[in-house]
Amino acid sequence: MSAAGKVVSREELLRRAAGWRRDGASVALANGIFDVLHVGHLRYLEGAAGEADRLVVAVNDDASTRALKGAGRPVVPAEERAELIAGLACVALVTLFDEPNVEPLLRALRPDVHCKGTDYTAETVPERETARALSIRVAITGDAKDHATREMIRRIRDLQP
C-alpha cells in the first residue's frame, strides 16, 4: 500500500482498527504535528510501534497547528505531513485531526496504548485523565528531546542571504 493510501479518514481508521482487534491485534495511538520531519520523530514513532501490534498516528491539521505553534506554522501542509508519516515502515495508518488534543480520538478509537514523546512525562500528558478513565495505558517513547522542529526552522532561516 502506498503512503498516501495509509492516510485515512477517522471513520475508515475506526473501521480498520475494529478489524485488527477482531484478529487479536493491539493498537497504539501516537500524535503530533511533525512539521519538519527529523530523527526525533522517527525514534518516537518507532518506540510507539513497539508498544502494540499496529501503530496509528494522528497528525494535527493546519488550523490546530497554527493554534498551537503560532503564525508561520505549519511550514509543511497537513496532507504532506500525513503522507510523510504514513511512509514510515512502523506506521500502519495515519489520520488528521483538528481538535486541540486527541481526546476525542482516544474516546472513539480506544487504543490499547496512547504514546507520547519524551517531552512529556506520565503526569504531563494532556490526555492522561481521559486515558485513565478509558483504561488506556500511557507510554512515553522515543529518545531524549534533543531534536526540535523550532530549532531546525531557525537554523534554516539563518542560512537565508
Classify domain 4-158 by CATH architecture.
3-Layer(aba) Sandwich (3.40)
Predicted confidence at residue 32, as pLDDT, reads 96
Give 147's pLDDT tier (boundaries 50, 70, 90): low
CB 153 within 8 A of CB 75: yes
Q: Is residue 143 predicted with pLDDT exceeding 90?
A: no
Whether residue 76 is predicted with pLDDT greater than 80 in this model: the reply is: yes
CA quadruple 106, 33, 123, 28: dihedral positive or negative? positive
Q: Where are the domains of the chain?
A: 4-158
The whole-model pTM stands at 0.90
* pLDDT tens digit sequence for 8-60: 999 999 999 999 999 999 999 999 999 988 899 999 999 999 999 999 999 99
Predicted local confidence at residue 153, as pLDDT:
65
